[in-house]
């Protein structure tokens, strides 16, 4: 029988997986010239809180300022993946 901690951990891992999928969809949709719609707005609304702190940290430290790629997006995705992996163990 699963304990409460196991159930909570599984729920958090599933939520992190959902955020990662939303981030991947956001990245793929950014390659196409799509006007803002409710789906894209939803993706930005649920993924931006995970990206902004890393972006602000990089701006404060002066890292990766003049790159055409959003490094903070990739670092956020990697941190979420690492957290998900650690919790799933």
Residue-wise DSSP of 2-29 = --HHHHHHHHHHHHHHHHHHHHHHHHHH
Q: Retrieve residue 79's tokens.
A: 């941190």
Unique residue bearing structure tokens 């993706």 = 43
Q: Which domain holds residue 47?
A: 4-88
The average confidence (pLDDT) of the chain is 93
Number of domains, the chain: 1
Half-sphere exposure at residue 81, Cβ-oriented, CA atoms within 13 angstroms? 10
Q: Assess whether pLDDT exceeds 80 at residue 1.
A: no
Per-residue pLDDT of 34-54, as tens digits, reads 888 899 999 999 999 999 999
How much of the chain, in percent, has pLDDT values that exceed 70?
Answer: 99
Per-residue pLDDT of 53-80, as tens digits, reads 999 999 999 998 888 888 999 999 999 9
What is the reported pLDDT for 36? 80
């Amino acid at each position: 029988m699963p304990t409460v901690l196991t159930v909570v951990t599984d729920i958090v891992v599933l939520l992190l997986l959902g955020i990662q999928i939303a981030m991947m969809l956001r990245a793929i949709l950014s390659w196409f010239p799509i006007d803002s719609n409710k789906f894209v707005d939803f993706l930005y609304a649920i993924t931006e809180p995970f990206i902004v702190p890393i972006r602000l940290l990089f701006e404060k430290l002066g890292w990766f300022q003049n790159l055409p790629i959003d490094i903070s997006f990739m670092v956020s995705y990697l941190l979420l993946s690492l957290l998900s992996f650690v919790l799933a163990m």
